Structure 1
Amino acid sequence: MDILSPVLGQLARRAGAALRHPLLAPLVNEHVVDFYARHLHPQLSMRQVIARVTARQAASADAVTLHLVPNYLWRGFRAGQHVTLTVEIDGVRHHRVYSLSAANADDVQITVKRQPGGLVSNYLLDQVYDGDYLQISPAFGDFVLPEPAPQKLLLIGAGSGMTPLLALAEALLQMPDYTGQVLVLNYGRSHEETLFHSRLLRLKTLHPNLRVVYGLTAEGVSEGELSGRFCARHLDELLADAAEWQVMACGPQGLVDSVKALWAERAYPLAPLTESFTPLAVPQATAEQQPVALTFRLAGRAVTGNNQQPLLQQAEAAGLQPASGCRMG
């Protein structure tokens, strides 16, 4: 089935607004409306952003970029933001957060890197193709370019952390009359596993003020590349004036912590802007287990929980499926 036409999308948007009118809203079950609307077109919905997959493109040996065309409920995005993607696998809905990996407002992309044993990442790489439909949330997040635009921007990423950084680099370099410098440090285990080789090469060709350096942690390096994980030596080899650069880092928690620690140790004036895709570890509970009254207002459920387990686990144990971005893979 084709992408929902703009005319039908406008009609659906107006119909949805009318059904959400205070006089009608109490009488309307949005889930029921969406159920029947999907039989007319998969992208018809009162409340959900449904995107059609229009292309797949290899981003590395174990990653793929999905090009998406969302429906009329999509409100756009800023480079660096992300979406929550929802898929149904064997009758169970799963939620994962993915950064948008391009700056062009007309080209909505997510890049998915295969995670060993990862349920959703493997599903997206192996079973989602052109013409399929995916549910995504509105774009959110504040990992965006600072204002005013930095004249010296250092982007440090590893693995999936490169997805928002590529979008940020594109957004900055495409600004009219931008003449500043952008340096991208792209870390990975090997050349095959680092993301966006071809796109970064193309971006360098278009913008001579972009420099890209690769750091490899599990194989030998060539001239101009870095060996091992990010460290002070890498920074000193590349930049004599690092204190003047705005740094943005994204990737595993260890990478982000290393960047923050180095900037703090050297008291650089521009604080790092960072984001990590690694969920924070839940501290081991030390207090005695106590019952806690949990009320899930939207679901109309009240249960007895405890002060030991994460709230998401307790909600799922109660038979609920709340949207979340706490899991990876």
Structure 2
Amino acid sequence: MHVVQRKNTALNFLSGSVCDSNLLNFWMQKLNPLWSTHQMLGQICQKEYITADTVSLKIRCSKRMKFGLAGQHHPVIVEIDGRRLERTYSLTQLDDEHVKLTLKKVPNGIVSTWLCDTSKISDVIEFGMPYGDMLPQNYDDKQLILLAAGSGITPMYSMLYALAKSGELANYQVHLLYWVKYEDQAAFVDIFDEWSQKYPHFKYDVFYTQSETSTASRLNEEHAQEIENLDHKVVFACGPSGFVQLAKEIFQDAKLFDSEAFSLSPIENTEEGTVQVTLARSNKVLEIPKGQSILDALENANEKPISGCRMGICNKCACHKVTGTTKNVATQAENSEPGSLLRICVNSAKSDLVLDL
């Protein structure tokens, strides 16, 4: 016992005061790929395509892993061609050591393409701290309407899986509405069918909007009208920002509404011209185009601001706007308030700006 304590003390001393932690991690991971002085690491142990463009990775996690609550998001960091890239995904905790990462391959998506096509068994990835507040346990109500589009199904599945595993799903009344383009893109349908047979108060509908056999309608007001006692139910929505914004409008009569957008819906940029952005800390003045996210514009100008999810959720890119007017690229809302907190991944410049960067 004393030997173990001395060993841990020595390791903490080395990692904190003598050796560069990256160098120490390098040698530790020669012995065990999941060992690290501070990183939350995971190793892929199973890979399975569950739809034509969706992969589920079973990952064994290191002892340092901080598991999030079902429905939360984790930053996922991978190294591709010598670059560390971070994206945000929902994880499903399978047991004390394993998580499931389910993701859809995004056209031209560097990280999603690597995870779906290139990653292999034994590859190691890194996780960041979990975040997100769209959680059933935040509400006393047990009548849930879940709205999901595309990859928005993954946090819904995570929540439902946790409820089923704990036996709590039997105490909930759940109606899941799930939109995909084609039949071969619908994930987790087999388990949803199993749950619908096992739990009388769980039901689900899948809408195929571009099916060759029967085309279903996209989310619209009729879907809300068909739900009885909507004012007594909690509604969760997850999908592209356009889908989430529409759901918020359509389900405004719900008792409670909560949502998260996993990506920005493409919005045609009709703005012309450029503006000047002053980075107060570095005293740089840059010219960037109107209509483009400030994060993208700064990166195109060879700046490297801190960023994370690139969806306006994690706040890693947030900085204070000293002066100027910005527009949220998802909601189109404008903000001219000086000193306000600005998420540069989801805002564009409408005028000259001064940023605390």
The bucket for the TM-score relative to the shorter chain is 0.7 to 0.9
Cα deviation, 1:162-188, whole Å, max 9, x if unaligned, reads: 000011122234444642211111110
The 10-residue stretch of structure 1 (142-151 or 36-45) with the greater mean CA deviation from structure 2 = 142-151
What CA distance in whole angstroms lies between the structure 2 residues aligned with 1:323 and 1:30?
Answer: 23
2:336 alignment partner in structure 1:
none
2:103 alignment partner in structure 1:
112
2:120 alignment partner in structure 1:
129
Matched residue count: 302
What CA distance in whole angstroms lies between the structure 2 residues aligned with 1:155 and 1:165?
Answer: 7
Q: CA deviation at 1:101?
A: 3.7
Q: CA deviation at 1:191?
A: 1.3
What CA distance in whole angstroms lies between the structure 2 residues aligned with 1:119 and 1:135?
Answer: 16
1:276 alignment partner in structure 2:
261
The 10-residue stretch of structure 1 (91-100 or 139-148) with the greater mean CA deviation from structure 2 = 139-148
Report matched runs for 1:259-298 at 5 Å: 259-264=247-252, 267-268=253-254, 270-279=255-264, 288-294=275-281
SS of the residue aligned with 1:162? Answer: helix
Alignment check: 8 A CA contact 1:63 1:125 kept? yes
Alignment check: 8 A CA contact 1:79 1:100 kept? yes
What CA distance in whole angstroms lies between the structure 1 residues aligned with 2:7 and 2:46?
Answer: 25
Q: CA deviation at 1:236?
A: 2.5
2:31 alignment partner in structure 1:
40
What CA distance in whole angstroms lies between the structure 2 residues aligned with 1:34 and 1:130?
Answer: 21
Matched, 1:86 2:77: yes
What letter matches 1:324 in structure 2?
A: G
Report matched runs for 1:298-313 at 5 Å: 302=282, 304-306=284-286, 308=288, 310-311=294-295
Alignment check: 8 A CA contact 2:224 2:250 kept? no
Matched, 1:216 2:208: yes
1:51 alignment partner in structure 2:
42
Q: CA deviation at 1:311?
A: 4.8
Q: CA deviation at 1:17?
A: 3.9
What CA distance in whole angstroms lies between the structure 2 residues aligned with 1:159 and 1:205?
Answer: 24
2:223 alignment partner in structure 1:
234
Pair 173,72 (structure 1): closer, same or farther in 2 beyond 3 Å: closer
1:245 alignment partner in structure 2:
233
Alignment check: 8 A CA contact 2:61 2:98 kept? no
Q: CA deviation at 1:262?
A: 1.6
TM-score, normalisation: structure 2: 0.74
In structure 2, stretches of 5+ residues that fail to align are 313-357
Tell me which of the two structures has the higher relative contact order, counting C-alpha pairs closer than 8 angstroms and 6 or more residues apart. 1
SS of the residue aligned with 2:156? Answer: helix
SS of the residue aligned with 1:108? Answer: strand
Q: CA deviation at 1:208?
A: 3.0
SS of the residue aligned with 1:227? Answer: coil
The 10-residue stretch of structure 1 (241-250 or 285-294) with the greater mean CA deviation from structure 2 = 285-294
Task: Let me know the Cα RMSD of the aligned residues.
Answer: 3.3
Pair 228,221 (structure 1): closer, same or farther in 2 beyond 3 Å: farther
Alignment check: 8 A CA contact 1:259 1:272 kept? no
Pair 130,315 (structure 1): closer, same or farther in 2 beyond 3 Å: same
Matched, 1:324 2:304: no
1:100 alignment partner in structure 2:
91
Q: Indicate which of 246, 266, 275 corresponds to 1:258.
A: 246
The 10-residue stretch of structure 1 (150-159 or 195-204) with the greater mean CA deviation from structure 2 = 195-204
SS of the residue aligned with 1:64? Answer: strand
Cα deviation, 1:108-127, whole Å, max 9, x if unaligned, reads: 11111011222211111111
What letter matches 2:233 in structure 1?
A: W
Report matched runs for 1:58-77 at 5 Å: 58-77=49-68
Alignment check: 8 A CA contact 2:74 2:90 kept? yes
1:153 alignment partner in structure 2:
144
Alignment check: 8 A CA contact 1:149 1:172 kept? no
What letter matches 1:84 in structure 2?
A: P
Q: CA deviation at 1:327?
A: 7.0
What CA distance in whole angstroms lies between the structure 1 residues aligned with 2:151 and 2:203?
Answer: 20
Q: CA deviation at 1:323?
A: 5.4
TM-score, normalisation: structure 1: 0.79
Pair 256,73 (structure 1): closer, same or farther in 2 beyond 3 Å: same
